[in-house]
Each structure stands twice: as structure tokens, then as C-alpha cells.
Structure 1
Amino acid sequence: MSMSPEVIGFSFIILGVLLIIGKWLRVSTPFLQKFFVPSSIIAGLLGLLLGPEILGKMGVELFDIGGLFPESMLEVWEELPGLLISVIFASFFLSKTIPPIKKIWRISGPQITFSHFISWGQYVLGISMAIFILTPFFDLNPAAGALLEISFVGGHGTAAGLSGTFSSVDFEEGKDLAIGLATVGVLAGVILGIILVNWGARKGKTEILNSPNDITEEQLKGIISEENQEDEPVGKKTTRSEFIETFTVHFAYIGVAIGVGYLILEGLILLEEALWVDTIELFTHLPLFPLAMVGAIIVQLLVDKCVKHKIFDTGIVNRIQGFALDLLIASAIATLSISVIGEYWVPFLLMSITAIAWNVLAFIYIAPRMMPDYWFERGIGDLGQAMGMSAAGMMLINLADPQTETPAKKSFGYKQIFLDLIVGGGIVTAASVPIIVAFGPVPALIVATVVTVGWLLLGLLYFGKKEKERT
């Protein structure tokens, strides 16, 4: 059965069925509500359970490879994350007015610094583990040193989006390890985040205290009751539907942004081939998605300059981005290879524990010293994001500061411009595997250590002191 149009269409239908079952399970299971597990993760785990990796191994076989899904459907799902990640990253800066850099730095400088410190620190720990443990004892590719940052700060999208890069440097198992680590990161991030908000509330660490017990049943179930529903919850209409649908216009511009990113990438590859005669290949292994983000900034700037009417609506762009992320997470987890994680379960466990411990310790001990004003409300969002999901970071900020009385939420949004272009799925994250392969883990470790120490000193000596003087 080849990857025909019918198979591709049917693959989306079954993914939709899994997502709606995931939503039903979430609405009817208090345990899943309590820990804010997203429906997309439940859908992915359900797909994994019913596929060849679990049900197939138990002897249930509807198709050749075991489980309830044909191989051609799993092939479609495997390709989806690599395509959808570009949609997600192109959506980051479309419809956003990019404020002056000075203003961003003034409002969210401490969070930018703390997030970079956590991210680069994950490279230091990961590459150190690769040099001293993962490569010598478990024969893993030295590029495994980049997995902590790719999976935890980058999340599912980045982990799945880099599957082509892992293959191109002969590190096939990297994809499954990365998606597995991202799943551990998101679940641990939400659970530990809620525990920390409770701890912060009890110990007086939060400045706006609001007990997480105040969360409504509606919020827990993730639904909006009829009286609270809005007429146009998706966003504003910016074009007349009889000529072109507003949703279509936004989707088309996302496509244009990805196209611009593709042209930039192809240009960089040609430039690399023309200038570098030796065997170092960086841009050849670089994925499209970070450049789709650059493409989006270019498109946004051109639209601002050349189009008189306001055609972008942030709500619609966010809905398209959220839709792509739900499909991405569900398909990435459903096609996870448990046998690869089983084969490398010791390094997998070591990497999970190391990254989680680093994130939590940095939050408890470093965040208050970098961000003395509202450090808890600001830092808890960065912790959630460092565990693998910006959405988890936003949710934790909402728990700690439900009425938006602190600058945490605004700073969190502004911070993404300085973070996502570089780490957490940006140029450095995407290039980290080819860089380690091309130059070796030791130079990469030295650079990561210098950068981590630089961010730490900036946070402690500049923002820490500055804020203390003001308060």
C-alpha cells in the first residue's frame, strides 16, 4: 500500500479521531485534568499503544507490521512533524508588531538572560555526558550531547523537526530519543510546575498569591461553557469571505514565509558549497524551520511597509499554530520507537534526570538572584518552557499570576524574539548536531561553557544588582 492521496487523507482522519478520543479522555478523567496533560499527548500515547510498538508486540496484528494501523499510515505520520514544525515557527512573528529592541530588553532582559542560561547549561551538561558517559559506555553518537537542549528547551516540535538532520549525520536513534525525552520533559514540567506553584504559595515565594486550588472545573476540563463562549473566538475577520476567506489569507502568508525561509536556506547551502572546500557541512544539515521564522519576520516587515490595510490577526495565526502543534505532537508520539528507547534506556534515564534536575535547581537557586522582582512569576514560565513547551510556561504563569498583575506574561512573550531565533529550536539548536559532528564535542563544550558563564554573570551582576537597587 503506497503513500497515495487516499492514504494521506485517511491518515489525517485517524489522527483526528485519536485527538478527539484524547479530548474525551481528558474531560472525563480527573487525574489527567489535575496534571494538565494536553489532549495531543494523550492522543499520541493512544496511537503509540494501538500501533506496532505496543499492541503489535502483544501479537495483535491487523496489518503486516502489527497493531491497528497500516505501515503507509505510520509513514505519513512520521513525515508530518518535519512539515508542521515550519508552520509553527513561521507563525511566531506573523501578525506580531516587533517592538524596539531597547524596550524588549528593558522589560524582559532578566527572563531572556535566565532562559539562555538554562538552555546553554543544558548543552554543557549534555555534551559533558556525551564525552564522559554516553559515547564511551553506550556507544552513542557524540551528537547525543545536543539532545537535552533539543528535547527540553526545543520540545516535541524541534525534536521531531530535526529527524532529517539526525538521519543525515548517521544518528537515526537520535529522533526517537529526542521525542521520548521531550515527552518526559513536558509531563515532568507540568507536574513539577504545579508542585512548585503550590510550594511557592505556601512558602510566600509568590508575590501575587493565588492558590492553584482556585482553578475552575472549566479550566481543568479545558472547555468553555456556553455562556462564556464568544461569537468569533478564533479571531477577527480581515477580508470579505465572498472573495477570499480570512483563514485562507493567513495560511497563505504562512506558506509565503516558509517559502522565503526555503530560499534563504538554499542560498546558504550554495554559499557553503562555493566557499568551503573542506568536508565541514553545516547548512546542508540545517532544517528549514528556524529559517521559516526568519522568513516570517521578512514577510511581516514587507507587509507593514507595503500593505495599507491591517490584514493579519494574531488570534487566527495562533489558531493555525495551535492546530499544527496538536497534529505534530500526536503524530510524533504515535510513531515513537519504544525499542530504541528500550535499547538505550540507561542513557535515556540519565539524560532525563540530569535535564529535569538542572532546570528545577536553576529555577530555585538562580532565578531569584537574577530576577528579584516577581522572580517566581517570571521564572516559573521559563521553567515550563525549558521543560519543552511554551504553552506549559504560559499555563504556569497563569496559575501564579491569574489576573496579569506582574510583568511576567508580557516579558514571556517579548522574550521569545531573543530566545527562539537562537536556542529552543532556533539557529543554534538546529545547527548544534551538525556542529558537534563537524568540529567534535570538545570545542562545542568549550563554547557552550563560555556562553553559559557569560549569561550567568550578566544575570547575577547586571540584572540582579540593578533590580535590588530599584526595589
Structure 2
Amino acid sequence: MNTTGLELVDVFAAFIILGLFLLLGRFLKEKIDLFKQLYLPESILAGAVALLLGKEGLGHLVPPDNFLANQGIFPQDVTTVWAQAPSIFINLVFATLFLGETIPSPKEVWRKIAPQVAFAQILAWGQYVVGLTVTILILTPLFDINPIAGALIEIGFEGGHGTAAGMAEVLDTFGFEEGSELALGLATVGLIAGVVTGTILINWGRKKGHIVSETENNLSFQESTNSSETVQTEYEDFNKHVLLDPLSINLGIVAIAVTLGWLILKALQELEALTWAKIEIEIMNYVPLFPMALIGGLIVQITMKKLGIDHLILRPLQKNIAGVSLDAVIFSAIASISLTVLGTNFIPFLILAITGITWNIAAFLFFAPRLLPSYWFQRGIGDMGQSMGVTATGLLLLQMVDPDNKTGALESFAYKQLLFEPIVGGGFFTAAAPILVFQLGPIPVLTLTASLLVFWIVFGWVNFKV
């Protein structure tokens, strides 16, 4: 083993193994009907298998004198790379969110999706309120859990595996080393619960007549084929004008977005050092890079559009870059989970999971029909899915209730992200919440989030009630 540090060959080996396990995840999903029915991503299945075969699984099951003890089947250098990968690749995921997208005017966006924004914000801020409440009243007094645990429901449910993994370094900085494992566990439970409870609610909605103007067919093979043909056509058109591979161009554009995000973060850190840090309030020094990478991507998109060179950005390729990066984030994060930590904090983990799931379902059933002016079930189920299993789960549930997009729920859901993701669900407040709890304490943050929850309830109720 290399004792002086990782070499490139170690990183190469780690990602070769990662790729093989992703294929294994695909094989398991093809062969086991339960995984198909739950719509579990291959990266989660692959990460779970790697976790069981690694030091936290097999490494603890074999006798102490066995060569697999305390490491499993993977060399230490490989697991070291995996442990570092989530906080790196999450930046690529967020940098690509706006690249290649049409950015409408703020007025147009607000007109179309204001009710959707209100409902989504209620779900997100409510997760902070219930999480901080149970932490203050139960988890910290009875289990001596770090008060930052109150933010973990939103980090794990709204933010998902990528955000949970990306926040690991921040949580470690504040002495909450078990926080990232708890957040990753919540992200896994939330994703599964989002699909399962979403499917149950959809069946209930059909029986009650809440789902209208939709057909029962799934996305067809022909649609998938057409999508592939579109990508191929864009590749061919692109290659007529440039000699560099389109993927290389688009990776370079992502690199610019990440670099801009890094510069913005450094500038804000310098501003903080000159201003409010002097009164011992520090936030920007603990904020991770990925929210700034999102802003960097937005700046790149707008700038290239104004310069007339936005045709260089191929949205299908940006989605592919994000998809590969997210697979790497999810796999490596799950493969690196400490089962020992989860076992030690099982009861607090269970309390947070049940609290978060209960809030999301209750908020969907109560607020969605009262705040969303049309097709409340279709528009609400997407946000509920996102609130427990990130954006992909929301899109999955939308596909199940409105596969042909006859209700317009998909557009509302998509445009809402512009006014949602930069704040919560992995945005600025998600990144700042642990910092605020650490700096100010849980009660002031509970007061702040409860006030924001009340604001969005009143705003939605007054303007969009039916």
C-alpha cells in the first residue's frame, strides 16, 4: 500500500471498480422484480452491495485474523478514494443544472409556478420545523445528539444522497462526525419511502377520482429511441463546426462553471473576513462549493447566450455529465457509510425518519388540494416525491400520474426548481443550516424556519386557495 499518499493508479482502480459495481446494480435490477417495482436506482443497489462487501460489512463478519478483516474485499486506497468522491462530484452535478436550459424572465416564471413554489417551500421549511422540534425536545435531551441533527431531515430528504455526502466535511468540522452517515441513511430511507408511499397515494388517488386527464401508459421504447436519435443528431451537427469532441467541450464548460463558483465562494469568504466575521459570526467559511457551482453554471449559461455561443452547450451531454457524476456520488457515499455509527444512533435515526415521512405525507394531503389551483394531485405528488427522494423521485411519480404531460404539471415542477433549488433542497440554506445551528443554536433557527413556514402557508392560502 502506498503510505505517502494516493497515486493516479489508485484513483483509476477505484473508478474501474465503481463502474463494474454499477453494472452489477443494473443486473440486480433486471433480475429482481422487487427492485424494479421500487424503482431503485442502480447506483443505490451497487453502493449497497459494495457496502456489504467492504469493511463495514464483510470486514466485521470474518474472524479477526482473516486477511479480509476490517477492510472487506477492497484495498484501503480504493475506499479512501470513494470516501472523498462525493464532496468532489457533487459540484459537477450542481454546475450542470442550468447549462443548456432556457432561462425565462423572473416575471414569467413566477406567474406560472407561484403556487408550486409555495407548496414546495412549505414541505421544505416544515422539515426543518419538525426536525428541530424533535431534536430539541427528544433527541438532544435523551440521546445527547448534536443539535445539528435537526437539519438532517431536509438535508437527507430534500437534498438527497448527493447533498448529504457533500455536507459531510461541514458536519465533521462542527464535531458531528456521525451526521453524514445519518443524513445518507435518511436519504436512502426517504427515497424508498417516497416511491412506496407515492405509489400507494397514486393508487388511492385513482380510486378517489383525484387523478384526471391522464393515460395509464408508461414511457414507450419509441420515446427512448427518439431521445437517443436527438442526441446523435446534435452530435453530428456539432462535429460539422468544431474538431474537438463535444463531450470535451461540455466538460470544459462545466469546469468554467465550477471555477466561477469557486471564485464567488472565495470572494464571499474574503468579504466575510472583512465584515461580520469581526463580530464572530462565520458562515461562508463553512459553506461547501456546490451551491456556488450552481450559480457559476447560471452565469455561464446567461453569458454564453448573450455572446451567441450557447449552441456549444448540448443539454443532453450536460445531463449525461450530471448523471455520471451523481451515480459516482451516490455509489461512493453509500459504499462509505459507517454501519457502526448508524447502529449506535439507530433510535434517533428512526425518530427522524418517521417524523420526516409523516410530515411530507400529511402536508401533501392537507396543503396540495388547498393551494394548487388545478390538477392538485399531479402537481403535488411530484413535489412530495422530491421532498423525500430528490428530484428524480418527483419526476418518477409525475410520470406515473401524467405520462403524456397533459396537465402541465411537468413544466410547473421544472420551472419551480429555479426558485427552489438555490435556497433549499441542496441550496444556500441547506448548506447554511448546520452552520446557523452551530453558531446561533437550534431555538433561533427553529424560530426562523417556523416563521418562513408560516409565511409560505399564508402566502399560498391567500393567493392560491381553491
State the TM bucket, normalised to the shorter chain. Answer: over 0.9
Correspondence list, 1:273-292, <5 A: 273-275=273-275, 276-292=277-293
- Structure 1 residue 66: Cα displacement: 2.8
- Aligned 8 A contact 2:100 2:310 in 1: no
Question: Where does residue 254 of structure 2 map in the other structure?
Answer: 254
Question: Where does residue 236 of structure 1 map in the other structure?
Answer: 234
- Structure 1 residue 388: Cα displacement: 2.4
TM-score, length-scaled by structure 2: 0.94
Correspondence list, 1:57-136, <5 A: 57-59=60-62, 61-63=66-68, 65-136=70-141
After superposition, what is the alpha-carbon deviation per residue over 1:107-162, rounded to whole angstroms, capped at 9, x for unaligned?
A: 11111111110100111111112211111111111111110111101111110001
CA distance in 1: counterparts of 2:269 and 2:453, whole angstroms: 29
- Aligned 8 A contact 2:56 2:70 in 1: no
CA distance in 1: counterparts of 2:200 and 2:343, whole angstroms: 29
- Structure 1 residue 311: Cα displacement: 1.4
- Provide closer, same or farther for how the CA distance between residues 28 and 141 of structure 1 changes in structure 2, counting only shifts above 3 A: same
Correspondence list, 1:454-465, <5 A: 454-464=455-465
- Provide closer, same or farther for how the CA distance between residues 207 and 432 of structure 1 changes in structure 2, counting only shifts above 3 A: same
CA distance in 2: counterparts of 1:409 and 1:226, whole angstroms: 18
Correspondence list, 1:175-194, <5 A: 175-194=180-199
Correspondence list, 1:128-277, <5 A: 128-211=133-216, 214-215=217-218, 230-231=228-229, 233=231, 236-237=234-235, 239-240=238-239, 243-275=243-275, 276-277=277-278
- Aligned 8 A contact 1:234 1:319 in 2: no
Correspondence list, 1:22-33, <5 A: 22-33=25-36
- Structure 1 residue 302: Cα displacement: 1.2
1:51 to 50, 54, 58: 54
| Structure 1 runs of 4+ with >4 Å offset | 60-64, 224-229, 232-235
After superposition, what is the alpha-carbon deviation per residue over 1:55-78, rounded to whole angstroms, capped at 9, x for unaligned?
A: 111117544633111121111011
- Provide closer, same or farther for how the CA distance between residues 307 and 204 of structure 1 changes in structure 2, counting only shifts above 3 A: same
The gaps in structure 1 that reach 5 residues or longer are none
The AA in structure 2 aligned to 1:59 is V
- Structure 1 residue 280: Cα displacement: 2.2
- Provide closer, same or farther for how the CA distance between residues 438 and 30 of structure 1 changes in structure 2, counting only shifts above 3 A: same
Correspondence list, 1:10-21, <5 A: 10-21=13-24
CA distance in 2: counterparts of 1:124 and 1:369, whole angstroms: 21
After superposition, what is the alpha-carbon deviation per residue over 1:439-462, rounded to whole angstroms, capped at 9, x for unaligned?
A: 111111111000001101111111
- Provide closer, same or farther for how the CA distance between residues 235 and 91 of structure 1 changes in structure 2, counting only shifts above 3 A: farther
Paired residue secondary structure (2:175)? coil
The AA in structure 2 aligned to 1:131 is I
After superposition, what is the alpha-carbon deviation per residue over 1:191-226, rounded to whole angstroms, capped at 9, x for unaligned?
A: 111111111111111112444xx447x78xxxx899
Q: How many pairs are equivalent?
A: 458
Paired residue secondary structure (2:111)? helix
After superposition, what is the alpha-carbon deviation per residue over 1:91-120, rounded to whole angstroms, capped at 9, x for unaligned?
A: 111111110111111211111111110100
The AA in structure 1 aligned to 2:424 is V
- Provide closer, same or farther for how the CA distance between residues 278 and 397 of structure 1 changes in structure 2, counting only shifts above 3 A: same
- Aligned 8 A contact 1:64 1:71 in 2: no
CA distance in 2: counterparts of 1:417 and 1:228, whole angstroms: 27
The more displaced of 306-315 and 45-54 is 306-315
- Structure 1 residue 372: Cα displacement: 3.4
TM-score, length-scaled by structure 1: 0.93
The gaps in structure 2 that reach 5 residues or longer are none
